[in-house]
Structure 1
Amino acid sequence: MDYVTSPTSCTRDQLKTYQLWFSIADSDGDGRVTGKDALKFFAMSNLPRPELKQVWTFADSKRQGFLDFEEFISAMQLISLAQGGLEITQDTLPRTVQEKHQASSPSHWFGFKSSKKMSLNSVTSIIDGLKKLYLEKLKPLEVTYRFNDFVLPFLTNSDFDAKPMVMLLGQYSTGKTTFIKHLLKTSYPGAHIGPEPTTDKFVVVMSGPDERSIPGNTVAVQADMPYSGLTSFGTAFLSKFECSQMPHSLLDHITFVDTPGVLSGEKQRSQRSYDFTGVTSWFAAKCDLILLLFDPHKLDISDEFRGVIGSLRGHDDKIRVVLNKANQVDHQQLMRVYGALLWSLGKVLNTPEVMRVYIGSFNEKPASEAAISPLGKELFEKEQEDLISDLKDIPKKACARRINEFVKRARAAKIHAYIISHLKKEMPAMMGKAKAQQRLINNLQDEFEKIQMEFRLPAGDFPNVDQFKEILSSHNFDKFEKLKPKMIQAVDDMLGYDIPELLKSFRNPYD
């Protein structure tokens, strides 16, 4: 097979050729070239397997286990290079492929085992497999034990298909909106920047055909958006939520969540008409990265901010701390501020490990133009590069993150089923039900320990006792379901066999 010479852009004739090849390679006709398809089609190039492995690695940059039409074109261009005798590396990629990779590269943004096994025959990607596993094995367990009332809403297709999200948290005027603006190199619809609390809403900044702002009530009912779960926070919250859309190459890969500034006074905090901490916890479960922004002049962690950070427990691997506006203090003050911030975070996070703190000044001007000394400039640039490397990997690690969050959810659903069924079992058959229920709520920690001992479960996987008590008080234990071992076994099979088999099926076909 003779491939078209590597083009920097496709002409109409070349595009027709690619479409013909794509239709031939796509054996299922579902708009995707799977690893199985690629093994057959790419073999016609007569290239050795190591080179075809490299082709797949670069083309399937999101590690989804299939190629869409654009990625297929990239693969064809790479094969063309290899047939011409060039080694396939980042430096020898065609410009169109480089642009595709750079679109998810922050250096470009900143300018520099089971008795009943799941059949994989109808599954075309890892995400498709997770959707099928959820509907067949995990959701029945969640529905039976009301997982959505206690822990998290049920998942929809849009939750699986959503782009990676980055959430910014911090007290007012710490530069959250400016940080997003700095990445986009432009403002987004509805953005307000100022020294006072300017962002009074949760704003989702995402890709769209044109610049517009969509009210929260509208966003929450759109089936193609993963925000339907926010309806549980009521109209009071939805009026403080909106979606800001605009066409942008960065937003094609990542969605940003700008949040209202965390308030410092108890009186101010109590004036919120919705559960701010609950909302941030909901977004934290959905996000791929959480940035905590601090200002050198606002290092005190308020009660509300302390509650918000506490609500992030379980998502520690996603959290990054950014000391923003660091150019506003000199070197000696910066050393003191850095130490004070670590001390404050250590008290709030209550962990022996020292958290990584990125130092920088993310505003309209890059570090090279900011009014800082040469030593500060070098420090800021290195710190910025470190933060960039975290952002750069988000789209590439999105699929792995989906799997990780899915497994965490499955473990949480299992624990929840054990708790609910145990509470049901402890209820009397006839008299004294109300007293028995109240006794179980009051001694919930003891009940948790009984469940841990009986089923040999890790204590760290259990929910917060106080929060669980609060939700339990509005439920009738007598209506809970008994333990259904077959459902538990189905989830165990999913974790022990189906997911590993899914990953094995959609790895690089040339491995």
Structure 2
Amino acid sequence: MVTLIILLSNMSSCHYFPINTSNSLSLSPAAMKKLLNIYHAAIQPMEQAFKYNELRQHEVTGEPASYGEITSKPMVLFLGPWSVGKSSMINYLLGLHGTPQELYTGAEPTTSEYTVIMNGEKFRSIEGIVMAADSSRSFSPLEKFGQGFLERLVGIEMPHKLLERVTFVDTPGIIENRKQQERGYPYNEVCQWFIDRADLIFQVFDPTKLDVGGELEMLFRQMKGRESQIRLILNKADSLSTQNLMRVYGALFWSMAPLINVTEPPRVYVSSFWPQDYAADTSRELFMKEETSLLDDLNQVIENQMENKIAFIRQHGIRVRIHALLVDRYLQTYYDKLGWFNDPYEVFKDIVNDPDKHYIFKSILAKTNVSKFDLPNKEAYQDFFGVNPVSSFKQLSSHCSWTGGCLLEKLERAISYELPALLSSVGKGPGCEEKPKNRWRKQ
């Protein structure tokens, strides 16, 4: 069994707290190979035919899923204001406190970079430009955000049992009184890229930083639809008395309520995530249980890695299908409206600028099994056709051959049958009876 090891720097001996990361049937190379084959045979050709990677908007991840992205480890993303303990929490989970590999922490804003912590044969730091240039990694698409961002991206590799199965991403703290344009790169677009790929999102707060400003509000808008992956962390909880902690907990929910408009709110973990002992006269028992629950949560993400990959690719395929159907509908409407004496440019401009007048989106809902909640916004297609002329596309009916069949049929078969069948065939394996352990749940 592979174990998560947390080394407590303030103790005379090391304690090992296993997270079950044992290889099981759910991570079988055969299942991964089949998933890649489905993607390359049924989804990627449609992406390329209809230039899905040119679509730019929050509701649709406008990139093809690369090999590195499909085969990458689960990603845990840490977001939140500056100096709330994001880096300290990563140090704690990886047992880095007091070691040369420890992430730098402090009371002032210390993390100005996106730090990707990965497994490697030895400890080393990798510049962002090197990470983006390595096509074998899943970070090569980040090159599109420019040199200004790549200078603020750093990778850290180290040999670690937990990092063999998960990747941590530390992010710059939200500073609400700083103008976004002063960052020197498209902050929200970069955050969106990581949010779209995160299996678990830890939104970290401390009792002194519960206010909501423009940057934090935008982040929560970007996380819409991913509420099941969000975990709110009320860190440094032992700095408060029990009575004040209850008040702060209520204030956190009051601040978050307008931002998370879902029936079931995200799970909130209340503790102090660092190796020091809790302050006296605080809710010690609660903090212990909360920390154990968080490790259980993290363990669940690791165990469900293959299932999450299949679900991700299926959702990606659904988005590609919707995009192809919409482009096809734009083209069909264009050819229907185009007459002998019409200006082709003006005809298509009218369709793109006012798709509702031509029932573009309504016809997709009426004639296909697409949900209205999955439709991208109309403005995205104004930008899309602004850089992709209508003449560069063929209709869906033209993407068929006697030998290869139709692209749409292949994609629909993958979405409706092949990927669900692969998901049902993935087993959990025998697993391990060990539960995640923390500093109080000794071996």
Q: Which amino acid aligns with 2:90?
A: I
Q: 1:342 aligns with which of 240, 247, 253?
A: 253
Give distance in 2, aligned partners of 1:478 and 1:316: 40
Secondary structure of the residue that 1:203 maps to in structure 2?
strand
Secondary structure of the residue that 1:420 maps to in structure 2?
helix
Q: Does 1:305 align with 2:216?
A: yes
Q: 1:373 aligns with which of 281, 284, 288?
A: 281
Secondary structure of the residue that 1:214 maps to in structure 2?
strand
Query: Deviation at 1:496?
Result: 2.5
Distance 1:271 1:481, change over 3 A: farther
Give distance in 2, aligned partners of 1:109 and 1:147: 46
Secondary structure of the residue that 1:364 maps to in structure 2?
coil
TM-score (norm 1): 0.71
- The answer for the alignment partner of 1:125 in structure 2 is 30
Give distance in 2, aligned partners of 1:178 and 1:147: 39
Secondary structure of the residue that 1:198 maps to in structure 2?
coil
- The answer for the alignment partner of 2:402 in structure 1 is none
Secondary structure of the residue that 1:196 maps to in structure 2?
coil
Q: Is the 8 A contact 1:158 1:224 kept in 2?
A: yes
Q: Does 1:102 align with 2:3?
A: yes
Q: Does 1:185 align with 2:95?
A: yes
Distance 1:209 1:447, change over 3 A: same
- The answer for the alignment partner of 2:433 in structure 1 is none
Question: Could you list the runs of 5+ residues in structure 1 that have no partner in the other structure?
Answer: 1-99, 113-122
User: Which residues in structure 2 correspond to 1:222-301 (within 5 Å)?
Assistant: 222-265=134-177, 267-301=178-212
Q: Which amino acid aligns with 1:354?
A: P
Secondary structure of the residue that 1:348 maps to in structure 2?
coil
- The answer for the alignment partner of 1:400 in structure 2 is 307
- The answer for the alignment partner of 2:394 in structure 1 is 481
Q: Which amino acid aligns with 1:285?
A: D
TM-score (norm 2): 0.82
Give distance in 2, aligned partners of 1:191 and 1:207: 15
Distance 1:358 1:432, change over 3 A: farther
Q: Does 1:220 align with 2:128?
A: no
Secondary structure of the residue that 2:146 maps to in structure 1?
helix
- The answer for the alignment partner of 2:291 in structure 1 is 384
Q: Which is greater in Rg? A: 1
Give distance in 1, aligned partners of 2:235 and 2:344: 55
Secondary structure of the residue that 2:42 maps to in structure 1?
helix
Q: Is the 8 A contact 1:126 1:503 kept in 2?
A: no
Give distance in 2, aligned partners of 1:124 and 1:391: 22
Q: Is the 8 A contact 1:216 1:242 kept in 2?
A: yes
Secondary structure of the residue that 2:217 maps to in structure 1?
helix
Equivalenced residue count is 396
- The answer for the alignment partner of 1:494 in structure 2 is 414
- The answer for the alignment partner of 1:34 in structure 2 is none
Secondary structure of the residue that 1:125 maps to in structure 2?
helix
Q: Does 1:356 align with 2:264?
A: no
- Larger % of helix: which? 1
Give distance in 1, aligned partners of 2:382 and 2:248: 39
Give distance in 1, aligned partners of 2:239 and 2:309: 39
- The answer for the alignment partner of 1:96 in structure 2 is none
Query: Deviation at 1:332?
Result: 2.2
Worse-superposed segment, 283-292 or 407-416: 283-292
Question: Could you list the runs of 5+ residues in structure 2 that have no partner in the other structure?
Answer: 8-14, 20-27, 56-60, 400-405, 431-443
Q: Which amino acid aligns with 1:398?
A: Q
Give distance in 1, aligned partners of 2:243 and 2:426: 52
Q: Which amino acid aligns with 1:146?
A: K
For CA contacts below 8 A with separation 6 or more, give which structure has more relative contact order. Answer: 2
Query: Deviation at 1:452?
Result: 1.5
Worse-superposed segment, 394-403 or 447-456: 447-456
